[in-house]
Amino acid sequence: MHEFRFDPVKLPETTDALRQEVRDFVAEQVAQGRFDPRLNSWSSRDVEFSKACGERGYIGMCWPKQYGGHERSALERYVVVEELLALGAPVGAHWVSDRQSGHQILRHGSERAHQLILPKICAGECFFSIGMSEPDSGSDLAAVRTRANKVEGGWKISGSKVWTSGAHEAHYLIALARTAPLEDDRHAGMTQFIVDTSHPGFSTRPIYNLYGGHDFNEVIFDDYFVEDDMVLGGVGSGWKMVTGELAFERSGPDRFMSTFQLLLESLRQVGTEPNPQAATEIGRLVAHLATLRRMSTSIAGQLDRGANPAVEAALVKDIGTTFEREVPEVFRRLTGVEPSLGHSSDYAENLGLTILRSPSFTLRGGTREILRGMIARGLGLR
Ligand SMILES: Cc1cc2nc3c(=O)[nH]c(=O)nc-3n(C[C@H](O)[C@H](O)[C@H](O)COP(=O)(O)OP(=O)(O)OC[C@H]3O[C@@H](n4cnc5c(N)ncnc54)[C@H](O)[C@@H]3O)c2cc1C
């Protein structure tokens, strides 16, 4: 049985000053009218803001200086990221590059990939997407059908991906493809490739979400050529790469802070003298938030030590996204405000948008059922 560990971590002494630095930076941006924090979450994109984050050293914080990074600890990065989310900063454009893709390239990419890509990510000028899901392969990634065939000097990829967030604005994506036929070991024969979206053979088609926005896409590979040195982690290691990446994807504060701005706005709506029912519900939510934060920082500490806390990360994502989905429902009840879209006060609109967004929280990055399956296996129940 897996031993679940959420040992407490002590944030480094440098973090108080760092937190204040981020607060001053965001306050400056808001004062200049650059964005309205109330409507943002980590998927809100603003290319100029990402560039400003790059200039401040807030991207690639833990990576070597030689590739544009800043050699800070994972916990220092955690504090910056947490602060940006709490302040409603539009970090969406660089989020995937910083959270997982750049890290994967650093650990498993070729020297050419390091030099070509990492400095641009750190500058806030290079954005990535995740090319895992396919029309018949979402939860069951081992069923991917996108195929890469060996050719002189590289590989030719054909097939399609779906729900690929931000692919229409990304410079690269990391695509999972089958490089050997599906055999008894379903997890063998898959490989990850770094795909330059400006090259021929790559195209996207929009998929509109529940509120009519264009966040994700269908991605089509039509005999797309990728060089040998853009293979990530070696041919056939795709499954290992994907599962390693998911611990980063699932454990951060973004997995319980998607509705944090709404929580703050809702507390303002309720006011400083909530009735006993409201006080109880708010107390419960805040206690959950504090617990999630403690669990998530503990995982950041484990990742810093080179561990792969995939099962702990699954637990954070499952509980965290359940919390995110609860926030609009609880406050809809407590405030009596009817959610709307585009015709009412900011709060009603924020509530309406969040309610339409919230089903995706427990789907993206792995569904509840899949996460609970992993947790059950960790507990020795399956
Ligand atoms: C907003 C959003 C953004 C996304 N962005 C990306 C992205 O950038 N890149 C990317 O690659 N993907 C992305 N996805 C896709 C996401 O990862 C998949 O939707 C998710 O993994 C589920 O896969 P699926 O949609 O194929 O559903 P399915 O796998 O078909 O699942 C359908 C239902 O069956 C359940 N189910 C499936 N298998 C099992 C099982 N073994 N046991 C119990 N229940 C099971 C699932 O939990 C789910 O409820 C995004 C999704 C959303 C909603």
For the ranges 95-99, 133-137, 208-212, 339-343, the lowest mean pLDDT is seen at: 339-343
Indicate the pLDDT class of residue 245, thresholds 50, 70 and 90: confident
User: What is residue 250's predicted lDDT score, i.e. its pLDDT?
Assistant: 87
Residue with tokens 């650093």: 106
pLDDT tens for each residue of 189-214? 999 999 999 999 999 999 999 988 99
Encoding tokens for residue 362? 């427990």
- Answer yes or no: do 170 and 186 share one domain: yes
Instruction: Please determine, for residue 246, whether its predicted confidence score (pLDDT) is greater than 90.
Output: no
Residue nearest to atom 16 of ligand 1 (CA): 364
User: What is residue 37's predicted lDDT score, i.e. its pLDDT?
Assistant: 87
Range of the domain at 65: 15-126
Give distance in angstroms: CA of 143 to centre of ligand 1. 13
Give distance in angstroms: CA of 378 to centre of ligand 1. 21
Indicate the pLDDT class of residue 341, thresholds 50, 70 and 90: confident
Residue nearest to atom 52 of ligand 1 (CA): 364
* Candidate of 214, 218, 357, 363 to mutate for ligand 1, largest count of ligand atoms within 8 Å of Cβ: 363
pLDDT tens for each residue of 157-189? 999 999 999 999 999 999 999 999 888 888 899
Encoding tokens for residue 279? 């006080």
Residue nearest to atom 26 of ligand 1 (CA): 138
Given a contact cutoff of 8 angstroms between Cβ atoms, the answer to whether 164 and 133 are in contact is yes
Helix axis angle, 276-304 to 238-251, nearest 10°: 140
Strands 128-131 and 172-178 turn out to be parallel
Residue nearest to atom 7 of ligand 1 (CA): 164
- Answer yes or no: do 204 and 98 share one domain: no
Total structural domains within the chain: 3
CA atoms within 13 A on the CB side of 178: 21
pLDDT tens for each residue of 343-352? 666 899 999 9
- Answer yes or no: do 103 and 154 share one domain: no
369 lines ligand 1 (CB under 6 A): yes
Residue 99 lies in a domain: yes
Q: Please state, in angstroms and rounded to a whole number, the distance separating the CA atoms of residues 109 and 174.
A: 11
CATH number at residue 319: 1.20.140.10
127 lines ligand 1 (CB under 6 A): no
User: What is residue 343's predicted lDDT score, i.e. its pLDDT?
Assistant: 67
CATH number at residue 189: 2.40.110.10
Residue nearest to atom 35 of ligand 1 (CA): 369
User: What is residue 58's predicted lDDT score, i.e. its pLDDT?
Assistant: 98
- Average pLDDT of the segment spanning 96-125: 97
Instruction: Please determine, for residue 251, whether its predicted confidence score (pLDDT) is greater than 90.
Output: no
Residue 19 lies in a domain: yes
58 lines ligand 1 (CB under 6 A): no
Q: How large a percentage of the chain has pLDDT more than 70? A: 99
- Answer yes or no: do 305 and 320 share one domain: yes
Given a contact cutoff of 8 angstroms between Cβ atoms, the answer to whether 225 and 201 are in contact is yes
Given a contact cutoff of 8 angstroms between Cβ atoms, the answer to whether 322 and 314 are in contact is no
Residue 7 lies in a domain: no
Q: Please state, in angstroms and rounded to a whole number, the distance separating the CA atoms of residues 307 and 286.
A: 29
Residue 229 lies in a domain: yes
- Answer yes or no: do 186 and 300 share one domain: no
Residue nearest to atom 12 of ligand 1 (CA): 133
Helix (H) or strand (E) holding 116: helix 111-122
37 lines ligand 1 (CB under 6 A): no
- Answer yes or no: do 221 and 168 share one domain: yes
Q: Please state, in angstroms and rounded to a whole number, the distance separating the CA atoms of residues 199 and 208.
A: 25
- Answer yes or no: do 137 and 215 share one domain: yes
- Answer yes or no: do 169 and 230 share one domain: yes
Give distance in angstroms: CA of 257 to centre of ligand 1. 20
- Average pLDDT of the segment spanning 96-119: 97
- Answer yes or no: do 172 and 258 share one domain: no
Residue type, 233: G
Residue nearest to atom 24 of ligand 1 (CA): 138
164 lines ligand 1 (CB under 6 A): yes
Residue 373 lies in a domain: yes
370 lines ligand 1 (CB under 6 A): yes
* Candidate of 192, 364, 377, 381 to mutate for ligand 1, largest count of ligand atoms within 8 Å of Cβ: 364
Q: How large a percentage of the chain has pLDDT more than 90? A: 79
For the ranges 221-225, 287-291, 341-345, the lowest mean pLDDT is seen at: 341-345
Encoding tokens for residue 382? 């399956």
- Answer yes or no: do 208 and 299 share one domain: no
Distance of CA 260 to the CA centre of its chain: 15
